[in-house]
Structure 1
Amino acid sequence: MSAPAAAVVARQRLRVGMVGLGGIARRVYLPVLGTRPDLDLRVCTRNQAVLDDVCAAYRIAHGYTELSAMLAEGLDAVFVHAATGAHVDVVRAVLEAGIPVYVDKPLAADVDDARDLVELARRQRTSLFVGFNRRFAPAYRALADEEFSCAVMQKHRVGFPDDARRVIFDDFIHVIDTLRFLIDEARLVDVHSVRIAGDLALVSVVLAGPGRVAVGVMNRDGGATEEVLEIHGPGVKTSVRDLTEVIEDREGRREIRRLDEWTPVEERRGFVAMCDFFVDAVRAGYRLDAGDALRTHELCDEVLRAVSARTP
């Protein structure tokens, strides 16, 4: 490559920050973003030992233990993978610096905080994007254009009842958002829940939209950790199991398709396409608005209030 060409490539590299280097960052986002030659990745965590390990593993030259120091260097975008409780302060700081933000779901565990951040992004005229990866998962995206009248999504865990707000905003939010992705103008129709020793063990909802109905169920005290999404249309039922297996029953005939076992999990679960979408928007100067993600948070708040109103 000639010197002028190399200079062009260097100018095109985006300076991207990553805040929070916990499990999701190390399992998914560092493998996806840390190997991209078009990104100049900088990372931030308060844990010096973790920072040193990550910088060495991915040959990252810029590591920080303070967010303010990283923002002062000048960035084109920031990915936020900190704990949910830190989202509000971190996202606000990045938005106030005028830098596009990608943040893991939930944007915040309180709908008023989420609404404030969306409004701040709009005032700043800066992108705010919430990472709902299932919208980008190949097996789920393929269902979006299918003709159907009913969708059923189950997402279960083994022995993990927990505080109702954490269950709904940190986990069940995936069910709500995926069903919203499939059903236009979804509204909440019904909520049922079961508690064990005060913790939320099971929650189910019914959503409805024009010509369609959806049921979402999560059992946190079940016998298996699994995720199943079904759509029912005229003469056809399509099921997706754990984002890897598609079972289509059409007028009594069954076809089973599985994703290539060599397909990386971050691609199978939509993270690669989702990161590409955000990075491409930043590069093109296209501003992303989190208003649709906010609607998911508002529905979660409706579910939480309904669950909280029930006698434990």
Structure 2
Amino acid sequence: MRVLVTGLGDIAHKGYLPVLAANPELELHLATRDQRVLREAGRSFRVPHLHASVEHALEAATFDAAFIHAATSAHPALVRLLLERRIPTFVDKPLADNLAEVQQLVALAERQETLLTIGFNRRFAPDYAALRGADTDLIVMEKHRHRQADTPRKVVFDDFIHVVDTLLFLAPAPILRRTIETHVEHGLLKAVTLMLAGDGFTAIGTMHRDSGLDEERLDVIGNGVRQSVRNMSELVRSAGTECHHRRGDWTSVGRQRGFEDMCADFLTAVREKRPTPAADILATHALCEAITFHADAQATPDRPSYTNISAN
């Protein structure tokens, strides 16, 4: 399988290239306009097929699939370019930083009958994935940053989107109600809380951008048991007493954080010609747009705001 990878920054080096380069079934091609980065990536991961741009790569070869790890602002144009050639495409979250473009790209994928997948690695992280389908009354996910307040759209679509998607992934029944709370100061989003509820369960996601520590914690509670995942590396099961499980010393970061299984699932989906999971993509990005609207309304007093919103 010939696979194109573009966007060779930090996330590609840490999460994707170690996984993809180790797969003997793949013929990897790398593309970026930064020639120094291109040469170093090719050398580091022993990839001989290097291209000065995605356009040059598409002129030089045909591809069975593509991975996009470029900056968010570059996603729509790159995704559109690949989908128009009917190349199954995996792109880091978010697909775009606004719902209108997300809808357009999902519609294009469906018209082209070409797989489009978004990189939500927490759906494949072993400790998170194991909690799906658990007997759940309450889900609480916290993802905090230390002194990283930023504009609402950037915070929500580039970071809080992981919280949104994880809550939707773990929710044991349809979402019937939602509540949004945001704290904005001088145009910067400092804190956000999302509550989703349905029959018999509540799911709460929260992020503080001026926290004392960068940290992530997931708690799933039900039937007298609390299961907690801390920083995606330690699982604590509490049922009267605490039982701690840490990832093994030889467990790779790619395995623990879901990158291995996520890449494998996408490549399998390409081979099986699966359709684009349009409903999942749209649901996550639509919630992000609603949260951004709420935060922007706080920053603009004459604009209508809202918190309690029907899920329908």
How far apart, CA to CA, are the structure 1 residues paired with 2:87 and 2:291? 32
Q: Partner of 2:291 in structure 1?
A: 303
Q: Partner of 2:23 in structure 1?
A: 36
The DSSP-based 3-state class of the residue aligned with 1:287 is: coil
Q: Partner of 1:194 in structure 2?
A: 183
Q: Partner of 2:212 in structure 1?
A: 223
How far apart, CA to CA, are the structure 1 residues paired with 2:13 and 2:125? 19
Q: Which amino acid aligns with 1:40?
A: E
Cα drift, residue 204 of structure 1: 0.7
1:232 to 216, 221, 244: 221
Q: Is the Cα–Cα contact under 8 Å of residues 281 and 288 in structure 1 kept in the other structure? A: no
Cα drift, residue 145 of structure 1: 2.1
What TM-score do the two structures reach when normalised by structure 2? 0.92
1:261 to 243, 249, 256: 249
For 1:1-312, list aligned pairs within 5 A: 14-72=1-59, 73-183=61-171, 184-186=173-175, 189-250=178-239, 252-311=240-299
How far apart, CA to CA, are the structure 2 residues paired with 1:186 and 1:65? 45
Cα drift, residue 188 of structure 1: 5.3
Q: Is the Cα–Cα contact under 8 Å of residues 228 and 240 in structure 1 kept in the other structure? A: yes
How far apart, CA to CA, are the structure 2 residues paired with 1:178 and 1:186? 13
C-alpha distance after superposition, 1:211-237 (max 9, x if no partner): 211111101100111100001112111
Q: Which amino acid aligns with 2:233?
A: T
Cα drift, residue 280 of structure 1: 1.1
How far apart, CA to CA, are the structure 1 residues paired with 2:200 and 2:287? 19
How far apart, CA to CA, are the structure 2 residues paired with 1:310 and 1:71? 45
Q: Which amino acid aligns with 2:204?
A: V
Q: Is the Cα–Cα contact under 8 Å of residues 192 and 203 in structure 1 kept in the other structure? A: yes
The DSSP-based 3-state class of the residue aligned with 1:86 is: helix
Unaligned runs of at least 5 residues, structure 1: 1-13
C-alpha distance after superposition, 1:275-303 (max 9, x if no partner): 00001111233333333122100011111
Distance change in 2, residues 1:191/1:285 (3 Å): closer
The DSSP-based 3-state class of the residue aligned with 2:275 is: coil
The DSSP-based 3-state class of the residue aligned with 1:310 is: helix
C-alpha distance after superposition, 1:136-182 (max 9, x if no partner): 00000111121011100000010100010000000000000000001
Unaligned runs of at least 5 residues, structure 2: 301-312
Q: Is the Cα–Cα contact under 8 Å of residues 84 and 112 in structure 2 kept in the other structure? A: yes
Cα drift, residue 36 of structure 1: 1.1
The DSSP-based 3-state class of the residue aligned with 1:283 is: helix
What TM-score do the two structures reach when normalised by structure 1? 0.92
The DSSP-based 3-state class of the residue aligned with 1:38 is: coil
How far apart, CA to CA, are the structure 1 residues paired with 2:30 and 2:76? 19
Identity within the alignment, %: 43
CA RMSD of superposed structures (Å): 1.3
Q: Is the Cα–Cα contact under 8 Å of residues 191 and 204 in structure 1 kept in the other structure? A: yes
Aligned residues: 298
The DSSP-based 3-state class of the residue aligned with 1:166 is: helix
Q: Is the Cα–Cα contact under 8 Å of residues 130 and 290 in structure 1 kept in the other structure? A: no
The DSSP-based 3-state class of the residue aligned with 2:221 is: strand
Q: Partner of 1:8 in structure 2?
A: none
The DSSP-based 3-state class of the residue aligned with 2:14 is: helix
Q: Which amino acid aligns with 2:62?
A: G
How far apart, CA to CA, are the structure 2 residues paired with 1:78 and 1:209? 37
